[in-house]
């Protein structure tokens, strides 16, 4: 569909990451556990769903092979989206503990990196 799809994917990712990081900041300043969980889920959906998965899927949806029909397996697509969401959620849980202890960004980065590296392969 042309190079504009790549630009659209980039802009989608940038907007998703911006909104997701804003939501993560809300997690850190939430006054109750219920509000904290709400912002954590929002951050997970926006970062994993929009910032990562949708930005990777948009160029695939715009892909075409001349004289051929490109088909996608719905189960595999849903699994890749769930993988992105779970990786981001687990990384956020690890990085922002609720008990007030210090942040554990290194293990969170490893979980996030492993999960998101697997998304395009699925």
**Domain map (residue ranges) of the chain:** 4-118
| Least reliable range by pLDDT among 24-28, 79-83, 88-92 | 24-28
**85 vs 7, 14, 110, CA distance in Å?**
23, 17, 15
Rounded CA separation 6/82 (Å): 23
**103 pLDDT tier (thresholds 50, 70, 90):** low
Rounded CA separation 37/52 (Å): 21
Closest by CA to 17, choosing from 56, 60, 48, is 48
Rounded CA separation 79/122 (Å): 8
pTM (2 decimals)? 0.81
**18 pLDDT tier (thresholds 50, 70, 90):** very high
Phi, psi (rounded to 5 degrees) for 71:
-120, 150
Q: What is the tens place of the pLDDT at every residue in 33-70?
A: 899 889 999 999 999 888 888 888 877 777 777 888 87
**Is pLDDT above 90 for 114?**
yes
Mean model confidence pLDDT for the chain: 85
Number of alpha helices (DSSP H) and beta strands (DSSP E) in the chain: 5, 0
**79 pLDDT tier (thresholds 50, 70, 90):** very high
Rounded CA separation 30/86 (Å): 22
pLDDT given at position 46: 92
């Amino acid at each position: 569909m042309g190079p504009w799809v790549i630009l659209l994917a980039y802009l989608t990712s940038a907007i998703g990451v911006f909104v997701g990081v804003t939501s993560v900041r809300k997690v850190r300043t939430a006054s109750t556990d219920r509000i904290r969980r709400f912002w954590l889920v929002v951050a997970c959906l926006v970062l994993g769903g929009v910032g990562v998965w949708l930005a990777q899927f948009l160029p695939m949806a715009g892909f075409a092979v001349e004289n051929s029909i490109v088909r996608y397996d719905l189960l595999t697509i849903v699994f890749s989206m769930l993988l992105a969401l779970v990786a981001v959620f687990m990384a956020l849980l690890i990085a922002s503990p609720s008990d007030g202890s210090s942040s554990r960004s290194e293990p969170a980065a490893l979980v996030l990196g492993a999960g998101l590296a697997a998304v395009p392969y699925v």
